Chain A
């Protein structure tokens, strides 16, 4: 599927990073409103960029040299979209992430698609389309959209998100009003091609467990999301299922994930200045590696995680909140080994200087290291607990 791989691997030169930075300067001098939307022309251009400083004790975190303090976390995106007609919209978004040893020097295509709305009950998106899974999967790489600097790592890990952000295929979506007393249902169902990202923590984790992947494993991914906007104002409940398979090659044989199931159940509530969310997720995956000339070796994982978060808009510009997340590799049958669990208390604040610029500060108190920690930047082994401080500035238009 070379065409698909081409779309997924499309790289633009580092010149684009310079363009994004130039857009940031333009925003600084107030030019942004003029280019963000041209009146009476449907073409829109939007973007964002962030720069973070991360420091930790005990262990280096997320592929960065955080024990010494790290600025190796930069993100940027450029969005171009056109509401061609009432029913048809087309667009493309480029995204750049540098996260320590992960990410690259050039942007990727985040999504590129056409979106046709037939009616309220049915719309179709085709191309490279963001996957709607759980509360945040399709929006997790838009940092200005959240108060949090880091979403709960076991479920929306920034070091492994690239693989699950989008699929090359088709999505059907719509909403159905049940009744005034029962609210409405929103659905999303998709089917497409799926590729492991070449530059995130997924392949590094496999490598550190002895599986050296060459190229990008790929396969197909069907899935769906169903959410209920309940009659209780501000309350949404929902569930999602992502399935995928993947095949690839290793330095000495083959790699296969026959079928992986990743389910999510969630609740989201907002009332005036208060917002709160909860999500539970379960990942069941089997991996078969075959060394040339040897019998296949299969291993399975049953990993369960959840988070509960809440926040409050203290003023129009200032938000504060906290979350707790807990993850466990149930299939390891050893809850005492820090390598099999991850618990994180996080406290966060965000200040919006204006419509375009914002700042975030966030602290994490982590126990366990089954996600987010790598041997590549912790060569002397891992300590069970880590405290992390994140400071970030960003702009968006």
Chain B
């Protein structure tokens, strides 16, 4: 019985920290984005440069946050990739002539401002950052 309780405690603790890490980052999009949900696959394709479009065919313009807690969490928790892998993916396509690197900003305020004013823009910030004028997406 004690062993079972200990295992349950361990699993609950691990789950708590996993959920807590994911909850630190939110995905924001320009209000032109249709719907409230983005799939993991589309999120990954857009933020690795594999796709320039959302599922409905509208143009996707990712923007990257270059530092901070949300930056540290986004790649492993939302894309399940390291940041270096994501950058390598982008650069491989840049050097084949297919894409340009997405814009990046140091501050979450700049990310929110860019996403709010740019149709098709999508970015990520910490949950606690002010984000008026943008739509918050959940990941399916």
Query: Could you say which of B41, B51, B100 contacts A175, with CB atoms under 8 Å apart?
Result: B51
Cβ contacts under 8 Å, A39 to chain B: 103, 105
Report the 10 A-B pairs with minimum CB-CB distance, sorted nearest first: A145-B92, A142-B95, A316-B82, A120-B53, A138-B96, A120-B57, A83-B100, A111-B97, A139-B96, A139-B92
Tell me if A385 counts as interface (CB < 8 A to partner B): no
Cβ contacts under 8 Å, A316 to chain B: 82-84
Interface string of A82-96 (1 = CB under 8 A from B): 110010010101000
Cβ contacts under 8 Å, A115 to chain B: 97-98
Cβ contacts under 8 Å, A207 to chain B: none
Flag if A352 contacts B84 (CB, 8 Å): yes
Assuming the A-B contacts A142-B91, A177-B55, are A317 and B84 also in contact, with contact meaning beta carbons closer than 8 angstroms in the complex? Answer: yes
Q: Chain B, interface size: which category? A: 20 to 34
Interface string of A122-144 (1 = CB under 8 A from B): 00010001100000001101101
Flag if B82 contacts A42 (CB, 8 Å): no
Tell me if B52 counts as interface (CB < 8 A to partner A): yes
Tell me if B59 counts as interface (CB < 8 A to partner A): yes
Tell me if A48 counts as interface (CB < 8 A to partner B): yes
Flag if B84 contacts A79 (CB, 8 Å): no
Bound form: Cα–Cα A77–B55 in Å: 34
Bound form: Cα–Cα A162–B40 in Å: 37
Sampled A-B contacts (18; CB under 8 Å) = A37-B104, A48-B95, A81-B97, A82-B100, A86-B61, A113-B97, A120-B52, A121-B57, A129-B97, A130-B97, A138-B97, A144-B88, A145-B92, A175-B53, A233-B41, A272-B80, A316-B84, A317-B84
Cβ contacts under 8 Å, A89 to chain B: 99-100
Query: Could you say which of A82, A141, A355 contacts B84, with CB atoms under 8 Å apart?
Result: A355
Cβ contacts under 8 Å, B61 to chain A: 86
Tell me if A167 counts as interface (CB < 8 A to partner B): no
Interface residues on chain A, number (Cβ under 8 Å)? 42
Tell me if A313 counts as interface (CB < 8 A to partner B): yes
Bound form: Cα–Cα A83–B103 in Å: 11
Cβ contacts under 8 Å, A83 to chain B: 100
Flag if A46 contacts B95 (CB, 8 Å): yes
A-B contact count (CB 8 A): 84
Bound form: Cα–Cα A355–B81 in Å: 15
Cβ contacts under 8 Å, A313 to chain B: 82, 85
Assuming the A-B contacts A120-B57, A177-B55, A233-B41, are A37 and B101 also in contact, with contact meaning beta carbons closer than 8 angstroms in the complex? Answer: yes
Tell me if A205 counts as interface (CB < 8 A to partner B): no
Bound form: Cα–Cα A152–B4 in Å: 51
Bound form: Cα–Cα A139–B105 in Å: 27
Flag if B80 contacts A145 (CB, 8 Å): no
Tell me if B94 counts as interface (CB < 8 A to partner A): yes
Cβ contacts under 8 Å, B87 to chain A: 355
Flag if B101 contacts A46 (CB, 8 Å): yes
Bound form: Cα–Cα A113–B55 in Å: 28
Flag if A139 contacts B84 (CB, 8 Å): no
What is the CB-to-nearest-CB distance from B71 to chain A, in angstroms, rounded to a whole number?
A: 13
Tell me if A117 counts as interface (CB < 8 A to partner B): yes
What is the CB-to-nearest-CB distance from B110 to chain A, in angstroms, rounded to a whole number?
A: 9
Tell me if A247 counts as interface (CB < 8 A to partner B): no
Bound form: Cα–Cα A138–B99 in Å: 13
Bound form: Cα–Cα A159–B99 in Å: 27
Query: Could you say which of B91, B97, B120 contacts A145, with CB atoms under 8 Å apart?
Result: B91
Tell me if A44 counts as interface (CB < 8 A to partner B): yes
Flag if A142 contacts B100 (CB, 8 Å): no
Flag if A145 contacts B100 (CB, 8 Å): no
Flag if A42 contacts B88 (CB, 8 Å): no
Tell me if A396 counts as interface (CB < 8 A to partner B): yes
Tell me if A209 counts as interface (CB < 8 A to partner B): no
Cβ contacts under 8 Å, A117 to chain B: 52
- Nearest CB to that of B120 among chain A residues? A86
Assuming the A-B contacts A44-B100, A117-B52, A144-B88, are A93 and B95 also in contact, with contact meaning beta carbons closer than 8 angstroms in the complex? Answer: yes
Cβ contacts under 8 Å, B41 to chain A: 233
Tell me if A336 counts as interface (CB < 8 A to partner B): no
Tell me if A18 counts as interface (CB < 8 A to partner B): no
What is the CB-to-nearest-CB distance from A108 to chain B, in angstroms, rounded to a whole number?
A: 14
Flag if A142 contacts B101 (CB, 8 Å): no
- Nearest CB to that of A233 among chain B residues? B41
Flag if A86 contacts B59 (CB, 8 Å): yes
What is the CB-to-nearest-CB distance from B49 to chain A, in angstroms, rounded to a whole number?
A: 12
Bound form: Cα–Cα A138–B95 in Å: 9
Flag if A233 contacts B52 (CB, 8 Å): no
Cβ contacts under 8 Å, A297 to chain B: none
Cβ contacts under 8 Å, B81 to chain A: 272
Flag if A93 contacts B91 (CB, 8 Å): no
What is the CB-to-nearest-CB distance from B117 to chain A, in angstroms, rounded to a whole number?
A: 12
What is the CB-to-nearest-CB distance from B44 to chain A, in angstroms, rounded to a whole number?
A: 9
Flag if B51 contacts A145 (CB, 8 Å): no
Bound form: Cα–Cα A79–B101 in Å: 12
